[in-house]
Structure 1
Amino acid sequence: MASAKESVAFTSILASGLLTALKLAVGLLTGSLGILSEAAHSALDCAGTVLTFIAIRIGDKPPDHDHPYGHGKVESIAALAETALLFATSAWIIGAAAERLLHGGTAVEPSWTAVGVMGLSMVIDFFRSRKLTKVARETNSPALAADALHFRSDIYSSGVVLLGLGLVYLGYPLGDPLAAIGVAVFVLRAGYRLGRETIETLIDTAPEGIDTVVRGAIQGIADVSRIERVRGGPRGSSVFVDLDIAVARTLPLERVAEIKEQVTHRIQEEMPGADVMVMTHPLALDDETILDRVLVIAASQGVPVHHVTVQHVEERVSVSFDLEVDGRQSMAQAHVTASALERGIRQELGDEIEVESHIEPLQTDAVTGTELPWAEYRRIRDEIEALADATPLLIDAHEIRIRATEVGLYLSLHCHVPPDASVEDAHDAVSALEQKIRGQIDGVRRIIVHAEPPALPLATEPA
């Protein structure tokens, strides 16, 4: 896009330079203040287009350390400088025209050369305005839009000059300074519009309807509970959107990241090229259970918990859980962690709630394990299989792994349970097996038992 913008800006420099030279020559030859005013206007357009060309080259640079939001506003500053030149030129034109109206001045000699130059100017201005407008819309460039506005206003001001020349030819010499004032009016009008748009860009005025567009774009996205705030504004040739949304605080971080990506994609579909920043805020939903709320509090404090049990005792609620802390901590340190979590739960659920915690050691470092000698492994494996066979609900024990570490034996195994067994019954059976293993096998440090239904037999094809 940068090459297209630079190309059209450079072509505009050549066009406005040519028109300035032609109008200046004809204005000096005819003595027409209107044409001289148009020459000054075209010279201003040429200077403004040079500024535009420079601003585009700077504004399209990517963000860097000193300009984290990019260099896009350089184009707006260039447009503001063009506005100042427009007003200064208008003041000069009006002053010179007033002097001629009050005290007379150089006689104007209308000629077909002057008419031809002004006609040529209108044709060039028409095609340059169309081309600039097209590229400005495609690239959302305020500097090119300002140039397009200049060339468009030049068409009308050139028409006013032709009208003034016609009046002089018909014997009304005041038509020329009046035409010059008409040119100044067009220049002032263009300057006002350009200045207003530029200032709105520089002070980050939100584009009209951006709130409605953004809200409509993300409406219906799952897990977006509500939109807290929408902010947006121009940033050079692009638009930035700063959006705050609320999501359930129980959602996992991966899902929150997916929501942010989905929201950004939806907005950019409606507003191509938009720079979107999405902030998410946790929201406590009405359908949260006590379990959800306990897990959220524990996660916010960075404390792993499991075996959360919620009991309703008459009018009271009792919550108990196991929490894991670094096994190398002292009990005094662990008690501080547990007390902070219990206090957070009471603040969330009310002081009348009962909270009980069981502290367990959390292994923070990996341990080195070694395989047992075959004879010892087989002996312990056989004992585990026998204990599993004697445990109600368990069908067998398999995939048994036994490894020796510096802190004791680490055991892992799988057990088959009936497919229709409840998770609660299976957990009770596994817990019973773990107790038997600890009671019969010395030196067991950790046991991991995975309960699963037997694999279903493969269906055979009918004969």
Structure 2
Amino acid sequence: MSPPSISSERQRNERRKERAAFVSILASAGLTLGKGVAGFATGSLALISDAANSLLDVAATTMTWLAVRAAHKPADAQHQYGHGKFESLSALVQTAFLFLLSGVIAVEGVRRLSSGETEILLSWPAVGVVVGSIVVDAWRWWGLTRVARETGSEALAADALHFSSDLVNSVFVLVAFAAAHFGYPQADALIAIGVSFFIAFAGFRLARRTIDTLLDTAPKGLAERVTGLAEKVPGVVGVDRVRVRSSGSLIMGEVGIRVSRTLPLDRVTQIKERVRNAIHADLPDSEFTISTTPVQIDDETVLERVMLIAARLRVPVHHVTVQNLASRLSVSFDIEVDARLTLAQAHEVASRLETALVEELGPQVEVESHIEPLVVQHLDGREADAETVAGIALSLANHARECNGITGVHSVRVRETPAGFVVNYHCRLDPGLDIATVHDMVDELDRRMRTDHPEIGRIVGHAEPRPAAAAGRDIAAGGTSGYR
């Protein structure tokens, strides 16, 4: 989903487009009326053709307004990519109007020249109408071009082209009036024919751009631009493909990126979101779908590859040992399987993981696994009585002193379950010890406790670095302080 700021900006652009299109309808209607009256009063073909062009503009701008409103409708079951193509369709119909108009003007100009009907009646009011239309055409062309450029609207761009053709046409009408005043009335028909060619050329350019949009032609250079944006996002190994297309003022597309296959899913999601945000920052009116392909990168360790394959098969593993022997690689590890499985079922799980690792690391690898039971169901339990907790806490403290290095046993909790007592406790050790030594020491304490208390089904010791001020203290207390 787009951030709220992007959505608000898009809504503002939509309102601007609709307002610009509606103002153009009013302007076209006023120009048509003024030019038509002046054209028939003077008999100027150039001015009558200009009025006809403005009349078509009334229809075209009305169509633009309707198309812009339709394009802003959200996607639905029938139009799952939205309604943006309505703008392109409107622009294409407007080009047909332009070609029709240019043909009519050219034919009438040739007819007047061949028949000698070139006389026109000049008047200052007619000149005033033409000058006024030039001002209005220039104002609407500038306004529509600015909004079309800022919002990417093809329909408004087509509307701006109509007003630009009107502007040029009106300028040439003034030239025709001047030529007639100096004794060259046939210039009116010649200029009208010239204007028809200008309108046809402008319509051709608009039609080519609109057809490209309807055929989903990628905007020139945009795919390379999006590729560069995606490649700069940390975590993106490479860009496989970029597909872009225009839908009205909206740019839509797909970006396929490569990421390290060892990344967790939440990290991959973050990378996709950062790519999407980077594109939005450069192209606010855009919607891109980001897909990822996990790939092996050069600096993957054997441990990372083992953990990745195990995660794919959803088999918990630990105590992974990797050995580089003279002629081969040896990998061993512990796997945890449902304690309720039979040996045959557990062995099948282990074999499936071992086979996958051989396929990953090569046929020369030696793979060995040790199967451990994993209690997967939730245990119903209750807090043990205070006397039991105190006894186990005291036993933990005594055995900790025997282990020579474990101090500060605290946060002792004992729960009664169908599988026996579950004991959780915290203890403190020298912060400079390596974790392997710490693990062995805590395991030794756990082993001693199980020997003395066979009723314990599970014991979990959490080791903490011992503060200097706490050295030598041995606290055997119940409660939950420091529990994590």
Residue 482 of structure 2: aligned partner: none
Q: Could you tell me which amino acid in structure 1 is paired with residue 85 of structure 2?
A: K
Residue 19 of structure 2: aligned partner: 7
Alignment of 1:185-200 (within 5 A): 185-200=197-212
Q: Could you tell me which amino acid in structure 2 is paired with residue 28 of structure 1?
A: F
Q: Secondary structure of 1:318's partner? A: strand
Q: Structure 1 131/296 Cα, relative in aligned 2: closer, same or farther at 3 Å?
A: same
* 8 Å CA contact 1:161, 1:183 repeated in 2: no
Residue 126 of structure 1: aligned partner: 138
Q: Secondary structure of 1:224's partner? A: coil
Residue 304 of structure 1: aligned partner: 316
Match among 44, 56, 74 for residue 56 of structure 2: 44
Counterpart CA distance in 2 for 1:111 and 1:366 is 98
Report the Cα offset of residue 29 of structure 1: 2.2
Q: Secondary structure of 2:430's partner? A: coil
Alignment of 1:226-375 (within 5 A): 226-375=238-387
Q: Could you tell me which amino acid in structure 1 is paired with residue 363 of structure 2?
A: D
* 8 Å CA contact 1:395, 1:418 repeated in 2: no
The one-character-per-residue Cα deviations of 1:243-289 (angstroms, maximum 9, x if unpaired) are 22222111222222222222222222222232233222212111111
* 8 Å CA contact 1:157, 1:182 repeated in 2: no
Q: Which runs of 5+ in 1 are unaligned?
A: 459-463
The one-character-per-residue Cα deviations of 1:264-323 (angstroms, maximum 9, x if unpaired) are 222222222322332222121111110000111112222222221112232211111222
Counterpart CA distance in 2 for 1:333 and 1:46 is 79
Counterpart CA distance in 2 for 1:53 and 1:340 is 64
Counterpart CA distance in 1 for 2:322 and 2:279 is 42
Alignment of 1:391-402 (within 5 A): 391-402=403-414
Q: Could you tell me which amino acid in structure 2 is paired with residue 226 of structure 1?
A: G
* 8 Å CA contact 1:384, 1:437 repeated in 2: yes
Report the Cα offset of residue 78 of structure 1: 0.8
1:116 aligns with 2:128: yes
The one-character-per-residue Cα deviations of 1:30-67 (angstroms, maximum 9, x if unpaired) are 22222221111111111111011111111112233333
Match among 167, 176, 192 for residue 180 of structure 1: 192
Q: Could you tell me which amino acid in structure 2 is paired with residue 290 of structure 1?
A: V
Report the Cα offset of residue 24 of structure 1: 1.7
Match among 416, 440, 449 for residue 428 of structure 1: 440
Q: Secondary structure of 1:281's partner? A: strand
Q: Structure 1 256/158 Cα, relative in aligned 2: closer, same or farther at 3 Å?
A: same
Q: Secondary structure of 1:409's partner? A: strand
Tell me the percent identity.
45
Counterpart CA distance in 1 for 2:394 and 2:226 is 65
* 8 Å CA contact 2:231, 2:237 repeated in 1: no
Q: Structure 1 456/42 Cα, relative in aligned 2: closer, same or farther at 3 Å?
A: farther
Q: Structure 1 31/304 Cα, relative in aligned 2: closer, same or farther at 3 Å?
A: same
Q: Could you tell me which amino acid in structure 1 is paired with residue 19 of structure 2?
A: S
Q: Could you tell me which amino acid in structure 1 is paired with residue 271 of structure 2?
A: I
* Range with greater deviation from structure 2 (87-96 or 62-71): 62-71
Report the Cα offset of residue 457 of structure 1: 4.0
Counterpart CA distance in 2 for 1:215 and 1:349 is 33
The one-character-per-residue Cα deviations of 1:352-397 (angstroms, maximum 9, x if unpaired) are 1111222333333322211112222222222222222212432343
* Range with greater deviation from structure 2 (78-87 or 58-67): 58-67
TM (norm. structure 2) is 0.89
Counterpart CA distance in 2 for 1:102 and 1:337 is 95
Counterpart CA distance in 1 for 2:373 and 2:64 is 67
Counterpart CA distance in 2 for 1:339 and 1:101 is 95
* 8 Å CA contact 1:126, 1:151 repeated in 2: yes
Q: Secondary structure of 2:78's partner? A: coil
Alignment of 1:58-69 (within 5 A): 58-69=70-81
Report the Cα offset of residue 75 of structure 1: 1.0
Match among 103, 118, 121 for residue 91 of structure 1: 103
Counterpart CA distance in 2 for 1:191 and 1:401 is 83
Residue 390 of structure 1: aligned partner: 402
Residue 181 of structure 2: aligned partner: 169
Q: Could you tell me which amino acid in structure 1 is paired with residue 129 of structure 2?
A: V
Report the Cα offset of residue 145 of structure 1: 1.5
Report the Cα offset of residue 107 of structure 1: 4.0
Aligned length, in residue pairs: 458
Match among 409, 418, 430 for residue 430 of structure 2: 418
Q: Could you tell me which amino acid in structure 2 is paired with residue 162 of structure 1?
A: L
Across the aligned residues of Structure 1 and Structure 2, the Cα RMSD in angstroms comes to 2.1
Counterpart CA distance in 2 for 1:150 and 1:215 is 36
Q: Secondary structure of 1:311's partner? A: strand
Q: Could you tell me which amino acid in structure 1 is paired with residue 400 of structure 2?
A: A
* 8 Å CA contact 2:118, 2:188 repeated in 1: no
Counterpart CA distance in 2 for 1:333 and 1:44 is 80
Q: Could you tell me which amino acid in structure 1 is paired with residue 55 of structure 2?
A: A
Alignment of 1:433-444 (within 5 A): 433-444=445-456
Residue 42 of structure 2: aligned partner: 30
Q: Could you tell me which amino acid in structure 2 is paired with residue 147 of structure 1?
A: D
Counterpart CA distance in 1 for 2:110 and 2:336 is 89
* 8 Å CA contact 2:231, 2:238 repeated in 1: no
Report the Cα offset of residue 219 of structure 1: 4.9
Match among 142, 160, 166 for residue 148 of structure 1: 160
Q: Could you tell me which amino acid in structure 2 is paired with residue 197 of structure 1?
A: R
* 8 Å CA contact 1:211, 1:230 repeated in 2: yes
* 8 Å CA contact 2:231, 2:239 repeated in 1: no
* Range with greater deviation from structure 2 (63-72 or 186-195): 63-72
Counterpart CA distance in 1 for 2:344 and 2:63 is 70
Residue 476 of structure 2: aligned partner: none
The one-character-per-residue Cα deviations of 1:147-190 (angstroms, maximum 9, x if unpaired) are 11211121112122222333333333432221221221121122
* Range with greater deviation from structure 2 (422-431 or 214-223): 214-223
Q: Could you tell me which amino acid in structure 1 is paired with residue 453 of structure 2?
A: I
Q: Secondary structure of 2:237's partner? A: strand
Match among 74, 77, 84 for residue 89 of structure 2: 77
Counterpart CA distance in 1 for 2:110 and 2:36 is 20
Counterpart CA distance in 2 for 1:333 and 1:72 is 57
* Range with greater deviation from structure 2 (286-295 or 152-161): 152-161
1:136 aligns with 2:168: no
